[in-house]
Chains A and B, each alone.
Chain A
Amino acid sequence: MRLGWGYYFKLDELNQPANIRCLILACGNTLRSDDGVGPWLARWAEERFRSEPSVRIVSRQQWTPELAEEIAQSESVLFIDCSVHSDPGSVELNPVVPASCTEGLATHHVGAAELLALSFELYNSLPQNAMQLMVGAGSTELGETFSGQVAAALPQACSLIEETVASQLGNISGPRGV
């Protein structure tokens, strides 16, 4: 069966929104010590919420503009990353607001605020809730293990992820904890 122009559909017929009630977007480099905390928490979340079809987890080395499409189709979004500007091992959960349109953008990496803004500009859609979980990095040197501070912070980070997702979904099933 050949497709091609003969099977041209209108784009708005194709872009069917997925039933994503909570999108978890993590980023980080697993080869740079604490920078890998985002992917680690994403893997934990994949296991924790594997029986929740309305929770989608995406882990990337860097956030790119293409993720705006996923955000636009989600009721809520939780960004997860490490921060070199926070105290090592600190865990913060804060709301995110869309960036203003005049700010620049890197094609290989965009921030949470820029992604929200892009989601609005392109798809006229914003999640009802947008939060960002930041874990303060102790070390971003080459390596595949966490610093003591970040390792100690993991249970708290996991609890916050669980609470955030639960607040979006109501009761969630499955085992709790790290």
Chain B
Amino acid sequence: MSQTITIDPVTRLEGHGKITIQLNGRGQVEDAHFHVTQVRGFEKFAEGRPFYEMPSLMARICGICPVSHLIASAKACEAIMAVRIPHTAAQLRRMLNLAQMVQSHALSFFHLSSPDLLLGMESDSAKRHIFGVAAAHPELGRAGIGLRRFGQHMIELLGNKRIHPGWVVPGGVTEPLSPAHRDEILAGLPEAYANLKLAITAYKSIAASFKGEIEVFANFPSNYLGLINEDESIEFTDGLLRLIDPKGNIIEDGIAAPRFSEVIGEAVEDYTYTKFVYYKPLGYAEGSYRVGPLPRLNIVKSMGTPLADIELAEFKQISAGPIESSFHYHHARLVEALYGLEKIEQILTDPLILDKHVRATAGVNRLEGAGQIEAPRGTLFHNYKVDEDGKITWANLVVATGHNNNAMNKGVLQSAKAYVKDGKFTPGALNRIEAVIRTFDPCLSCSTHAFGQMPLAMTIVNADGEVVDTLIR
């Protein structure tokens, strides 16, 4: 008799999701799915709004990565305006993007994943939360808070608000950086470096103990997509997209925002509100790929900053070609955070960062615009069409979680097959299946979620819909 195991909600994620696992009559896993159970509708209710409102509107999609939407949206608006923003504005936005990346990666590593990594996948769920980490590893708990504080405070200094800063606008930013704020950010860097060094050292010391998880946490060949500079170094705010295959060969290169929709498509499945993004020439689902920290490090040849380059070289030793196991997203996040700190320091020590020319102005000069950047979780794309008055007639967003949707579902199936045997599973097994999703650090929406006291209700039903067993925590 077939059975379905449901994990609802999946904990320690941004947003709401559930996992279902289908067993056959012999208790073996036949299929598994990751369902995103919420719909936001931003693409629709933006219609009719003036295009210059879009950055502020789109930032409200998320409270963790609003900066990503701000910048991608502003870039789409600038394409409509047909302007090139001043160099200083571009650098200021770059710093804002990096500050968000640092604090977002810190959230993912310290708050969401460190309970599993530091306390163990099988540890008592009543203690597998930030309190548990704080009690067992207070220095790391403090490091996580310190690193998040650095990123959030930097966003506040630049944009006047920690969440949904209104500073990024079509054409640039509203205000230049003051010398006092520059100096305050610089003064925070030593502690930020120290906190990150603790995290990197701690992660390297425990990574080897997760060999089993590394084997089955979305560990399969895939294509990888990400922004890259001309010198093949990592890029988060500008640059062009590169798609590589499982062996690292370039499938397509130099994808600029206006071409994004020509080469990237979105498919819909009836069990989830998140779309499935794919590379059109290869079709759906063969054209699926991964985005985010691990794919970015697979794609680039260098980080472009000295300390991160050392870490990248060590990271790439994990595999002769592209690294496949999504478990290594955790490591990749830390390398990217280090790059972020170094790049912020580099930009701040350039005197031009205080230049007063930070905004270009124009009206509607094109009826369509697109913008792409790298959000903490992966490539983000905004595409708008407007009428002659600049009112939005159509909007489309392709977010990182959509790019990774296929891989997340494959990963859930892979881990379910590894950890559910003959219809039997342990709480630790279910936690591992959830942890696969956490490696991707998806942003399903800005939504509250709880960890530690895992609000997990699992129901097993047979093919007739009858409840066979329940597990409630």
List residues of chain A with CB under 8 Å of any chain B CB.
1-5, 7-11, 14-15, 60-61, 65-66, 68-69, 101-109, 117-118, 121-124
Which residues of chain A have C-beta atoms less than 8 A from B349's C-beta? 1-2
Instruction: Report 6 cross-chain contacts, Cβ distance below 8 Å, ordered by A residue.
Output: A101-B132, A103-B452, A106-B451, A108-B446, A122-B134, A124-B138
In the docked arrangement, what's the CA distance between A101 and B141, Å? 14
Which residues of chain B have C-beta atoms less than 8 A from A8's C-beta? 190, 193-194, 197
- The residue on A at minimum CB distance from B345 is A3
The answer on a CB contact under 8 Å between B451 and A105 is yes
> Residue B138 contacts which of A4, A15, A106, A122 (CB distance < 8 angstroms)?
A122
Which residues of chain A have C-beta atoms less than 8 A from B132's C-beta? 101
The answer on a CB contact under 8 Å between A117 and B131 is yes
The answer on a CB contact under 8 Å between B307 and A4 is yes
> Residue A118 contacts which of B126, B134, B342, B449 (CB distance < 8 angstroms)?
B134
> Residue B111 contacts which of A2, A5, A107, A124 (CB distance < 8 angstroms)?
A107
The answer on a CB contact under 8 Å between A65 and B193 is no
- The residue on A at minimum CB distance from B142 is A122
Map CB proximity to A onto B11-46 as digits: 1 under 8 Å, 0 otherwise. 010000000000000000000000000000000000
The answer on a CB contact under 8 Å between A106 and B111 is no
Say yes or no for B319: interface residue by CB 8 A criterion: no
Which residues of chain B have C-beta atoms less than 8 A from A66's C-beta? 145, 148-149, 152
The answer on a CB contact under 8 Å between A5 and B307 is yes
The answer on a CB contact under 8 Å between A107 and B193 is no
The answer on a CB contact under 8 Å between A107 and B345 is no
The answer on a CB contact under 8 Å between A102 and B126 is yes
Measured CB to CB, the closest approach of chain B to A48, in angstroms, equals 23
In the docked arrangement, what's the CA distance between A61 and B327, Å? 33
Map CB proximity to A onto B114-140 as digits: 1 under 8 Å, 0 otherwise. 000000000000110111101100110
In the docked arrangement, what's the CA distance between A60 and B63, Å? 13
Which residues of chain A have C-beta atoms less than 8 A from B111's C-beta? 65, 107
The answer on a CB contact under 8 Å between A121 and B345 is no
Given A61-B163, A105-B450, 16 further pairs, Cβ under 8 A: A5-B307, A7-B193, A8-B190, A9-B191, A11-B142, A11-B146, A15-B191, A66-B148, A69-B142, A101-B127, A104-B455, A105-B452, A106-B450, A107-B112, A121-B141, A122-B141
- The residue on B at minimum CB distance from A1 is B349
Say yes or no for B50: interface residue by CB 8 A criterion: no
Which residues of chain A have C-beta atoms less than 8 A from B148's C-beta? 66
The answer on a CB contact under 8 Å between A14 and B190 is yes
Tell me the number of A-to-B contacts counted with CB atoms below 8 Å. Answer: 113
The answer on a CB contact under 8 Å between A9 and B190 is yes
Which residues of chain A have C-beta atoms less than 8 A from B450's C-beta? 104-106
Q: Identify the 9 closest CB pairs spanning chains A and B, nearest first.
A: A104-B453, A121-B134, A104-B452, A14-B191, A108-B448, A101-B131, A122-B141, A122-B134, A104-B450
Q: Which of B413-462 contact A (CB under 8 A)?
A: 446-455
- The residue on A at minimum CB distance from B139 is A11
- Interface footprint category on B: 35 or more
Say yes or no for B107: interface residue by CB 8 A criterion: yes
Which residues of chain B have C-beta atoms less than 8 A from A124's C-beta? 138
Which residues of chain A have C-beta atoms less than 8 A from B189's C-beta? 3
Say yes or no for B321: interface residue by CB 8 A criterion: no
Map CB proximity to A onto B185-228 as digits: 1 under 8 Å, 0 otherwise. 01001110111011000000000000000000000000000000
The answer on a CB contact under 8 Å between A104 and B163 is no
Measured CB to CB, the closest approach of chain B to A159, in angstroms, equals 30
Measured CB to CB, the closest approach of chain A to B326, in angstroms, equals 21
Which residues of chain B have C-beta atoms less than 8 A from A15's C-beta? 142, 191
The answer on a CB contact under 8 Å between B146 and A69 is yes
Say yes or no for B179: interface residue by CB 8 A criterion: no
Say yes or no for B48: interface residue by CB 8 A criterion: no
Map CB proximity to A onto B296-308 as digits: 1 under 8 Å, 0 otherwise. 0000000000110
Measured CB to CB, the closest approach of chain B to A15, in angstroms, equals 8
Measured CB to CB, the closest approach of chain B to A17, in angstroms, equals 13
The answer on a CB contact under 8 Å between B453 and A103 is yes
Which residues of chain B have C-beta atoms less than 8 A from A118's C-beta? 130-131, 134
- The residue on B at minimum CB distance from A114 is B131
- The residue on A at minimum CB distance from B346 is A2
In the docked arrangement, what's the CA distance between A10 and B197, Å? 11
Known: A65-B145, A66-B145. A102 touches B127 (CB 8 A): yes
Q: Which of B167-191 contact A (CB under 8 A)?
A: 186, 189-191
In the docked arrangement, what's the CA distance between A117 and B135, Å? 11
In the docked arrangement, what's the CA distance between A134 and B12, Å? 29
- The residue on A at minimum CB distance from B189 is A3
Which residues of chain B have C-beta atoms less than 8 A from A4's C-beta? 193, 306-307, 342, 345
The answer on a CB contact under 8 Å between B191 and A11 is yes
In the docked arrangement, what's the CA distance between A8 and B111, Å? 24
Which residues of chain B have C-beta atoms less than 8 A from A104's C-beta? 129, 450-455
In the docked arrangement, what's the CA distance between A103 and B307, Å? 39
The answer on a CB contact under 8 Å between B449 and A106 is yes
Which residues of chain B have C-beta atoms less than 8 A from A108's C-beta? 63, 446-449
Measured CB to CB, the closest approach of chain B to A70, in angstroms, equals 9
In the docked arrangement, what's the CA distance between A109 and B166, Å? 23
- The residue on A at minimum CB distance from B188 is A14
Known: A3-B193, A14-B191, A69-B146. A107 touches B127 (CB 8 A): no
